Amino acid sequence: MENSSVDIRLLNERINQKSSFIDLLNLEIGKSIVGQKYMIERLLIGLLAQGHILLEGVPGLAKTLAIKSLAQAINGKFSRIQFTPDLLPADVVGTMIYNQQQNQFQVRKGPIFANFVLADEINRAPAKVQSALLEAMQEKQITLGETTFKLEEPFLVLATQNPIEQEGTYALPEAQVDRFMRKVVIGYPEKEEERLIIRQNINPQLQTKINPVISHEQILEARDLVREVYMDEKIEKYILDIVFASRQPETYKLAKLKPLISYGASPRASINLALASKAYAFIKRRGYVIPEDVRAVCMDVMRHRIGVTYEAEAENMTSEMIVSEILNAVEVP
């Protein structure tokens, strides 16, 4: 036991050193974004845990600006795809173009070939475009003609959807939503923050350029370290209890939730909950996971993975309320 405690202490020191770039990144992104700490923290977790993020929030909450700033701070290539009902898969992944001079087909790569891809209003595009994007997210490669291209690491897709306008939208199917590591819902800034936002946007002197502060190599190294973060068996059991409570609520004294859940969280939820908890511990500069880490990331990982029945809708029960009930009922180690 003593040996393992020494290992954890060494790991803790290593992670404390290696995670110092998190503060640098936050400072740099803070130059252009006021507040929204929650969203930026979630973006960093996605980056470190290799998980794509689905962002939901009303227009104008700096979703695009946040990922653009992150891309600039990491010196990564950023591209934005505005999804529309007439978009085609070739507009996302690229296509083969015939070159008359050379008498042959040439590959024209699409906007998906970047480190940070913002898929804006993903629910506006038809299913075939959504599936083209999701294949790229899952396989991290694209096939054009007969050639397969690997996507450059780090590769992070941030998809946004507006909760307001539901007309002319194609809802993402459950299987596709499940591919997103987390669904982050963001709200309005505080009054004081908004005052600063107004000042920053009115005064040109306050608008500063974002400089690259870390390299791709540092991000890839940090990703490997995140996987080394120590997770005790008790924490593993806690994660499993949370996920299983969504599938068999009656075994956790939550029989009242049984008629409200149409399907529970998939094994992807357990994997992502463990990974996100490790990434969260890393951001907090710790070499081990504590139950608070799991609770902090749980809502984002679970909210889009639990299906609610018509009965739940009639009672105005959302999947968020169900996750809260589960978190309150499952015993914390």
- The mean pLDDT value of the chain amounts to 86
Tell me what pLDDT residue 276 has: 94
**Residues 25-62, buried b or exposed e (16+ Cβ, 10 A)?**
bbebbebbbbbbeebbbbbbbbbbbbbbbbbbbeeebb
User: For 293-308, what is each residue's pLDDT tens digit?
Assistant: 999 999 999 999 998 8
What is the arithmetic mean of pLDDT over 152-167? 79
Residue 105 has pLDDT above 50, yes or no: yes
Any idea where the domains of the chain sit in the sequence?
A: 19-203, 229-329
Give every CB contact of residue 5 below 8 A, 6+ residues apart in sequence.
none
Three state DSSP letters for the chain: CHHHHHHHHHHHHHHHHHCCHHHHHHHHHHCCCCCCHHHHHHHHHHHHHCCCEEEECCCCCCHHHHHHHHHHHCCCCEEEEECCCCCCHHHHHEEEEEECCCCEEEEEECCCCCCEEEEECHHHCCHHHHHHHHHHHHHCEEEECCEEEECCCCCEEEEEECCCCCCCCCCCCHHHHCCCCEEEECCCCCHHHHHHHHHHHHCHHHCCCCCCCCCHHHHHHHHHHHHHCECCHHHHHHHHHHHHHHHCHHHHCCHHHHHHEEECCCHHHHHHHHHHHHHHHHHCCCCECCHHHHHHHHHHHHCCCCEECHHHHHCCCCHHHHHHHHHHHCCCC
Amino acid letter, 204:
P
Tell me what pLDDT residue 1 has: 43
Tell me what pLDDT residue 2 has: 44
> Which pTM value belongs to this model?
0.87
**CA angle at residue 49 from 127 to 185, to 5 degrees?**
55
Residue 235 has pLDDT above 90, yes or no: yes
Give the pair of three-digit tokens for residue 10.
């060494």
d(CA 131, CA 126) in angstroms, rounded, equals: 9
Place of tokens 């002197």: 205
Q: Which CATH superfamily does the domain covering 229-329 fall into?
A: Magnesium chelatase subunit I, C-Terminal domain (1.10.8.80)
User: For 20-66, what is each residue's pLDDT tens digit?
Assistant: 888 888 888 888 888 778 888 888 899 899 889 998 888 888 888 88
Q: Which CATH superfamily does the domain covering 19-203 fall into?
A: P-loop containing nucleotide triphosphate hydrolases (3.40.50.300)
Exposed, middle or buried: residue 95 (CB in 10 Å: 0-12, 13-18, 19+)?
Answer: middle
Place of tokens 């060494």: 10
